[in-house]
Structure 1
Amino acid sequence: MPELPEVTALASFLDEHLAGAEVTKLQIGAFFALKTAEPPYTALTGRIVDSVWCRGKFVVISTVPDRQEDGPEDSRSNGNERLHLMFHLAKAGWVHYYDELPQTKLKSGKVLIDARVGFRKDGRELGFDLTEAGTWKRLAIYVVRSPEDVPAVAELGPEPLDSAFDLETFSKLLTHRQQIKGVLRNQKMIAGIGNAYSDEILHVAKLSPFALASSLEPEEVERLYAALRATLMDAIREASGKPPSELKDSKRSSMRVHGRTGEACPVCGDTVQEVSFSDSSLQYCPTCQTGGKLLADRRTSKFLK
């Protein structure tokens, strides 16, 4: 699943290429992916891309009316005139960007393309497709007047790299008897971190994924906070400037423990271990994170004593 670093890089890439472009089309190939009906998705046609940004794992394409049609007043100052095209790529969704957009028309139910978005900029027709692999179709597309109109966005916790997200703010999230892995992944507590980067953050912090948040010592909380910030900032730097087609491979290649079961830990050389759940898994290093103890498969047993 794309997480904060990849979504940040993707939004930055799209902003660079699409800011100032006119929206020429939004074709829906899988209508179950479109989660909103008002305003209609056709209302985007003819509008101008003001900016592309992200909130958590959501990409937000903000548009304003064509000022040539609506007069000289800068419509960016009027929030009521904005429309936002938003999408969440879920577990297996992705963006395929085109410098020259294919002109074929999507046929609903006949293709693997959930949506095609076209733009005109500097006389060129460009755009991207939203696609989703696998049998579980969870990619979601929204057209809204405010990002907060999407309930999942309204409920998001703070952005972990925001200047306001300081150590004190982070510490206040760690008061429950919840495993720290779950806290990091909980979008209502912290936006944008998923399964992969929570593994990476905990490895850098040298903490067990099953440690209870409320049991962490002050020094461990400080270490975890520093690991969170450093891991995400390093990942954003690694992903920055790359086109969408390279972001998945870049993410995989930069992982220390996530997705590397059976390989050597890059820090201590111990073998990276895995814990399997019904629909996911986590990876960790016993030497670095659990004092050499193995964590049991959570589908059948609890933490090994």
Structure 2
Amino acid sequence: MPELPEVAALAAYLRERAAGLTVTRVEIVALSALKTYSPPVTALEGQPLVTAGQVGKYLDMTIGGLHAVTHLSRAGWLHYREELSPAPLKPGRGPIAVRVRLSDGSGFDLTEAGTQKRLAFYVVSDPQEIEFVRTLGPDALTIDEAGFTELIKKNAQVKGVLTDQRVIAGIGNAYSDEILHLAKLSPFAIAGKLTGDQLHALYEATQDILRHAVEKTTGQQAATLKAEKRAGLRVHGRTGLPCPVCGDTIREVSFATSNLQYCPTCQTKGKPLADRRLSKLVR
């Protein structure tokens, strides 16, 4: 899933490559992706792409006086094409959900792999009109340590608190694993029971991991961002490989629709976490 650094990088790429170009046509290929109907998507046509930005994990494109906002969800991505075929796309079961054509012949597709179609595309006058945007917590990179500490102290597992967009926006499954590894915290530790030193370490790790990822991805083309993200991860997606810090084997906990990775030596005092959602969990 694209998280704050990747969405910020996509926004930066659009600002560099497409700002000032006119949107000539917007094609909604997957009707399930369109979440708003007034204003219509046709209101974007003939308008300049003014800028692009990021709010949490949402990509916000200012087009004329409107905002085209998209949430790429678990399997979505933006693919920029230097040249698009003039033939209109037909609705179907392919990966393309939305195509935006630009005045120089280029454009971009919002795509989604898999069968669970959750990519969302909104056309609004103000992003705050979107409930999921309106209820976002502060962006992870804009909050100070005092504010972070106050928000994070919940009676819930710290992994879940970090990824709750209503608490802090922009952190997903991958970067939460990386943050917790750097902070040397179990993903199942109760956030409200963390010590002052642990909370400080968690804040510092959040800033370090996300800022490094933003620096690494900014300036990358959209096509290379996924590979860059994977290459920079130390524990997430590396089950069975040695921890780059201590050499212990990275382990995994699987759930119904997701999984997490961690290092027992670095994070759980050498104890493996139970790999069942309802098991008694090691903290």
Instruction: Please report the TM-score for the alignment, with normalisation by the length of structure 1.
Output: 0.91
In the TM superposition, residue 40 of structure 1 has moved relative to its aligned partner by 0.5
Amino acid in the other structure paired with 1:230: D
2:139 to 137, 142, 159: 159
Structure with max Cα Rg = 1
Report what 2:185 is aligned to: 207
What CA distance in whole angstroms lies between the structure 2 residues aligned with 1:304 and 1:182?
A: 15
Report what 1:183 is aligned to: 161
What CA distance in whole angstroms lies between the structure 1 residues aligned with 2:95 and 2:251?
A: 35
SS in 2 for 1:131: strand
| Residue 49 (1) aligns with residue 49 (2) | yes
In the TM superposition, residue 173 of structure 1 has moved relative to its aligned partner by 1.1
1:256-282, Cα deviation, whole Å (9 max, x unpaired): 000000000000000000011111100
Paired residues, number: 283
2:98 to 89, 106, 115: 115
The within-5 A match list for 1:219-238 is: 219-238=197-216
What CA distance in whole angstroms lies between the structure 2 residues aligned with 1:105 and 1:111?
A: 14
1:164-216, Cα deviation, whole Å (9 max, x unpaired): x1111011113321111011000000111000000000000000000111111
In the TM superposition, residue 100 of structure 1 has moved relative to its aligned partner by 1.6
1:27-67, Cα deviation, whole Å (9 max, x unpaired): 11111110000000100011111110010111111022xxx
What CA distance in whole angstroms lies between the structure 2 residues aligned with 1:133 and 1:245?
A: 15
Gaps of 5+ in 2: none
The within-5 A match list for 1:58-137 is: 58-64=58-64, 82-109=65-92, 111-120=94-103, 124-137=104-117
1:146 to 123, 126, 129: 126
2:148 to 145, 159, 170: 170
Report what 2:30 is aligned to: 30
1:194-239, Cα deviation, whole Å (9 max, x unpaired): 0000000000000000011111110111111000000000011111
Report what 1:78 is aligned to: none
What CA distance in whole angstroms lies between the structure 2 residues aligned with 1:276 and 1:202?
A: 17
1:136-159, Cα deviation, whole Å (9 max, x unpaired): 000011100000111100000001
What CA distance in whole angstroms lies between the structure 2 residues aligned with 1:295 and 1:33?
A: 37
What CA distance in whole angstroms lies between the structure 2 residues aligned with 1:205 and 1:140?
A: 33
Report what 1:301 is aligned to: 279
SS in 2 for 1:118: strand
In the TM superposition, residue 110 of structure 1 has moved relative to its aligned partner by 5.2
What CA distance in whole angstroms lies between the structure 2 residues aligned with 1:110 and 1:166?
A: 44
Report what 1:198 is aligned to: 176
1:85-141, Cα deviation, whole Å (9 max, x unpaired): 111111111111012222221111254311110111xxx211101111111000011
In the TM superposition, residue 302 of structure 1 has moved relative to its aligned partner by 2.1
SS in 1 for 2:83: coil
Amino acid in the other structure paired with 2:170: G
The root-mean-square deviation of aligned C-alpha atoms, in Å, is 1.1
Amino acid in the other structure paired with 1:259: G
Amino acid in the other structure paired with 1:158: P
> Could you say if the C-alpha distance between residues 304 and 175 of structure 1 is closer, same or farther in structure 2, counting changes exceeding 3 Å?
closer
Deviates more, 1:137-146 or 1:168-177: 168-177
SS in 1 for 2:208: helix
What CA distance in whole angstroms lies between the structure 2 residues aligned with 1:61 and 1:102?
A: 23
Gaps of 5+ in 1: 65-81
Report what 1:274 is aligned to: 252
| Residue 5 (1) aligns with residue 5 (2) | yes
What CA distance in whole angstroms lies between the structure 1 residues aligned with 2:44 and 2:264?
A: 51
Amino acid in the other structure paired with 1:140: A
Amino acid in the other structure paired with 1:101: L
Q: Is the 8 A contact 2:152 2:167 kept in 1?
A: no
Deviates more, 1:111-120 or 1:246-255: 111-120
